[in-house]
């Protein structure tokens, strides 16, 4: 069992748990219940007031201070703690819960990463495997720490592991099946440069071996990243998502792709690789096949199909039957409800502009968009360019990014050809429906909407929801898709989405 294999790596060691959040607590609980002969110290930036049974020493370290790493046999660092200031000689002595888990069970792991779509894709894979009678478990960045599932994992369990950049950045071992969906600028406050962020992601496959498999997005390769993927010992499968073309200026080339996604059609270049003997080398994802909204999800479905059907023996019929009852995840373009005839969608998971573009493209009656949040230096020019050409009527701006984004709208409006009207939220009056270009026309026919785009500065999310209720008319839709992190305003994106729904219900009760 997994708990024994992981315990063997910890027994009798002097261990430092570096960071005492959710994962640090899980490690200490596991050591106390499964291990013997350990000497455990715990350190965190915040002062830990509570008594921690099973510990030798509990202490606080300063923000720029590095704990005495070499005093320990094993240092388990929590994800998100920066590696800045840790020299190369010390880095090899720093491990993580993800590292020791993969060392024990990498051959059973399907690891999924990517800037966007990794939670939906990993959840979908686990759901379809379970519905098809497989022993599968979903863990990692999406849920509880992996060690919490130790007692549930047997020799035949398929482990679907969502892996964040923070979990990947110092790994020396990689999963048996690695999925690298896409790469967009994110977490720049932590990594400082896009290159360093991309380097962290590459660990999803750098430790793969012969007999392993890597599914990597063509979008990653076309940016010049993922070069080492061509040299990996694993079988490499390149996936091209033409539905994402134009989101980041990267030109996609499906001609060399093993998986080619075009609107709702997926072409598999080698039909023999599809498990279903009736397959013609392609699948069509119809609206009635899935509860997921948006063409961007067809890419996620294609990757899940390749893994479940080709690698784990799920039939085509089993796959689509399970897909129909996959509900998707909260805060991912989730319909909160219809209020006064207008639809309101929660896409709080959006922390990069590409997901916001995908959200607007997915909701045909979208007229109002709420964006903004923590400013991490992301270049919003591509988003502003898209929004100026979209059929949206109103963009509601949240701090701290509101001023910078508003400046882009004003500086880019002339070359785009659309008028922009700028307001404070208290100046708003109810919008009158105007004849003009629909959002779908703007996307499909590349015509400039005739209605001016209103950009509105809002004090906070509650103020933005109130403003949305004023300007979003019956038959239209409002989307919260911030293209920014929630930190500094909310605990996480989940709380942001929950507050969005709460404010809506307060207004319309």
What is the token pair recorded at 48? 């830990």
As a whole number of angstroms, the distance between CA 129 and CA 320 comes to: 12
Q: Report whether pLDDT(17) > 90.
A: yes
pLDDT in tens, 206-250: 999 999 999 999 999 988 887 677 678 899 999 998 887 555 544
Query: Dihedral through CA 98, CA 228, CA 125, CA 310, nearest 10?
Result: -130
Put simply, whether the predicted model's pTM sits higher than 0.85 gets the answer no
Instruction: Return left, alpha or beta for 76; rule: phi > 0 is left, psi -120 to 50 is alpha, else beta.
Output: beta
User: Could you tell me which residues come within 8 angstroms of residue 144 by beta carbon, excluding any fewer than 6 positions away?
Assistant: 22, 26
May I ask the CATH architecture of the domain 2-95? 3-Layer(aba) Sandwich (3.40)
Residue range 99-324 forms a domain whose CATH class is: alpha beta
As a whole number of angstroms, the distance between CA 149 and CA 139 comes to: 8
Q: What percent of the chain lies above the pLDDT cut of 90?
A: 66
Nearest to 329 by CA among 138, 485, 137, 108: 138
As a whole number of angstroms, the distance between CA 106 and CA 87 comes to: 28
DSSP conformational letter for 425: G
As a whole number of angstroms, the distance between CA 155 and CA 202 comes to: 28
Q: What is the CA radius of gyration of the chain?
A: 24
Helix axes 353-362, 296-305, angle to 10 degrees: 100
What is the token pair recorded at 137? 């478990």
Domain limits, CATH 3.40.1190.10, in the chain = 99-324
Q: Report whether pLDDT(88) > 60.
A: yes
As a whole number of angstroms, the distance between CA 233 and CA 178 comes to: 12
Cβ burial, residue 435 (10 Å; 0-12/13-18/19+): exposed
Domain limits, CATH 3.90.190.20, in the chain = 334-508
Query: Does the bond joining 240 to the residue before it have cis omega, within 30 degrees of 0?
Result: no
User: Could you tell me which residues come within 8 angstroms of residue 148 by beta carbon, excluding any fewer than 6 positions away?
Assistant: 26, 139
The band of 466, judged by pLDDT with boundaries at 50, 70 and 90, is very high
Q: Report whether pLDDT(12) > 70.
A: yes
- Residue 227: the pLDDT is 67
- Residue 268: the pLDDT is 86
Helix axes 296-305, 316-324, angle to 10 degrees: 140
As a whole number of angstroms, the distance between CA 99 and CA 95 comes to: 6
- Residue 275: the pLDDT is 45
Q: What is the 3-state secondary structure (H, E, C) of 480-493?
A: ECCCCECCCCCCCH
Domain limits, CATH 3.40.50.720, in the chain = 2-95
Can you give the length of the chain in residues?
A: 509
DSSP conformational letter for 109: E
Contact present, 128 and 315 (Cβ < 8 Å): no
- Residue 251: the pLDDT is 46
As a whole number of angstroms, the distance between CA 319 and CA 25 comes to: 37
DSSP conformational letter for 309: I
pLDDT in tens, 271-326: 444 444 445 588 999 989 999 988 889 999 999 999 999 999 999 999 999 999 99
Contact present, 177 and 109 (Cβ < 8 Å): yes
Q: What is the DSSP string of 24-62?
A: HHHHHHHHHHH--S-EEEEEESS---S--TT-SEEEE--
Q: Report whether pLDDT(267) > 70.
A: yes
Q: What is the DSSP string of 172-207?
A: S---SEEEE-------HHHHSSHHHHHHHHTHHHHT
What is the token pair recorded at 262? 């075009």
As a whole number of angstroms, the distance between CA 197 and CA 402 comes to: 25
- Residue 431: the pLDDT is 62
Within 147-305, residue ranges assigned H as helices are 165-168, 188-191, 194-201, 203-206, 218-222, 296-305
What is the token pair recorded at 505? 């219900």
Mean pLDDT of the chain: 88
- Residue 87: the pLDDT is 76
May I ask the CATH architecture of the domain 334-508? Alpha-Beta Complex (3.90)
């Amino acid at each position: 069992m997994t708990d024994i294999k992981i315990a063997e790596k910890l027994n009798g060691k002097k261990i430092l748990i570096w960071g005492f959040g959710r994962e640090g607590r899980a490690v200490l609980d596991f050591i106390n219940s499964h291990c013997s002969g350990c000497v455990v110290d715990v350190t965190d930036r915040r002062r830990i007031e509570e008594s921690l049974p099973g510990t030798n020493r509990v202490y606080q370290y300063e923000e720029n201070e590095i704990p005495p790493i070499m005093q320990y046999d094993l240092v388990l660092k929590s994800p998100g703690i920066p590696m800045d200031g840790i020299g190369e000689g010390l880095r090899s002595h720093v491990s993580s819960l993800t590292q020791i888990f993969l060392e024990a069970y990498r051959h059973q792991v399907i690891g999924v990463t990517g800037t966007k779509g990794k939670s939906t894709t990993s959840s979908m894979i686990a759901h379809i495997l379970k519905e098809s009678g497989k022993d599968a478990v979903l863990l990692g960045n999406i849920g509880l720490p992996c060690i919490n599932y130790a007692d549930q994992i047997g020799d035949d369990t398929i482990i679907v592991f969502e892996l964040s950049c923070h979990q990947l950045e110092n790994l020396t071992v990689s999963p048996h099946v690695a999925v690298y969906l896409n790469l967009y600028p994110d977490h720049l406050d932590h990594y400082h440069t896009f290159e360093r962020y991309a380097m962290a992601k590459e660990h999803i496959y750098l430790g793969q071996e012969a007999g392993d498999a890597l599914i990597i997005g063509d979008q990653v390769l076309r940016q010049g990243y993922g070069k080492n993927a061509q040299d990996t010992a694993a079988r490499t499968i390149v996936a091209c998502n033409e539905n994402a073309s134009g989101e980041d200026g990267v030109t996609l080339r499906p001609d060399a792709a093993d998986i080619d996604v075009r609107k709702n059609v997926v072409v598999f270049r080698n039909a023999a690789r599809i498990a279903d003997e009736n397959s013609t080398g392609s699948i069509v994802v119809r609206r009635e096949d899935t509860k997921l909204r948006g063409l961007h999800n067809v890419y996620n479905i294609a990757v899940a199909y390749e893994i479940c059907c080709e690698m784990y023996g799920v039939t085509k019929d089993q796959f689509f039957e399970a897909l129909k009852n996959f509900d998707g995840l909260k805060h991912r373009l989730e319909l909160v409800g219809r209020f006064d005839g207008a639809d309101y969608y929660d896409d709080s998971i959006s922390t990069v502009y590409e997901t916001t573009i995908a959200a607007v493209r997915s909701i045909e009656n979208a007229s109002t968009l709420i964006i903004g949040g923590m400013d991490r230096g992301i270049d919003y020019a591509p988003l502003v360019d898209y929004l100026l050409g979209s059929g949206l009527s109103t963009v509601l701006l949240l701090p701290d990014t509101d001023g910078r984004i508003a400046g882009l709208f004003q500086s880019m409006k002339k070359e785009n050809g659309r008028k922009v009207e700028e307001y404070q939220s208290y100046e708003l009056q109810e919008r009158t429906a105007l004849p003009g270009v629909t959002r779908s026309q703007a996307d499909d026919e590349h015509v400039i909407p005739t209605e001016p785009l209103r950009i509105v500065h809002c004090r906070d999310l509650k103020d933005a929801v109130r403003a949305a209720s004023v300007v979003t008319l019956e038959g239209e839709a409002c989307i919260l898709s911030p293209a920014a992190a929630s930190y500094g305003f909310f605990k996480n994106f989940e709380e942001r989405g929950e507050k969005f729904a709460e404010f809506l219900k307060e207004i319309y009760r």
